[in-house]
Amino acid sequence: MRRLSVAILVLLAGAFVGCVPDSPTSCVYSIDPVAGSYTASGGITSVAVTAPTGCAWVAESPCPWVTVTPSGGTGGDAVTVQVQANGTTLARTCAVTIAGLSFNVMQEGSSAPPPPPSSCTYTGNRSSKTLHYTWCSYVGQMADANKVCFDTKAEALAAGYTTMCSRCKP
């Protein structure tokens, strides 16, 4: 009888081990790379998503100048992050969310605007090829389309402005 009891217990123990449900899949995600740096002209980066089969994830951007595709998936995949050109001189950042993780976008500002024109010591008249000091009263009477700015008299002479104003005598 003792052997029979032990055999029943072993069989029952085996039945219980076989009945233990499989442990659920743990959805642990990773992305690579985790950040991207872009010039002012923008760019595209492919981000690898690592996830167990059957684990769903979402990709989204809170910034209108950054798009992500696809917007989600299951298991491992790749997400394309596209950054539009930055027309401002200010750098900008955006935290894109992919599979619950942050992909950080850092973008440079565009080049500074060109410097303003020089002080314009001399003003030439395109139609008459006459050279004036910029402060000359005749310059105020010229059409803006006829005005040409020069920093030096030598620059004006090299451009063919050889007639000198009779009033201001440059």
The pLDDT of residue 92 = 95
Contacts of 118 (CB under 8 A, 6+ apart): 149, 151
**Mean predicted confidence (pLDDT) in 69-88:** 95
The pLDDT of residue 116 = 52
SS3 36: strand
The pLDDT of residue 40 = 93
Architecture of domain 30-107: Sandwich (2.60)
**Mean predicted confidence (pLDDT) in 119-141:** 89
The pLDDT of residue 79 = 97
The mean pLDDT value of the chain amounts to 84
* Residue 110: pLDDT band with limits 50, 70, 90: confident
Report the alpha-carbon distance of residue 63 to residue 151 in Å, rounded. 46
Report the alpha-carbon distance of residue 80 to residue 94 in Å, rounded. 15
**Mean predicted confidence (pLDDT) in 138-157:** 90
Residue-wise pLDDT tens digits, 49-61: 999 999 999 999 9
27-41, 51-65, 134-148: range with lowest mean pLDDT: 134-148
Q: How far is CA 141 from CA 1, 125, 126, 128, 136, in A?
A: 127, 11, 13, 13, 10
2-6, 22-26, 42-46, 150-154: range with lowest mean pLDDT: 2-6
SS3 68: strand
20-24, 26-30, 36-40, 79-83: range with lowest mean pLDDT: 20-24
How is the chain split into domains, by residue range?
30-107, 122-164
The pLDDT of residue 102 = 96
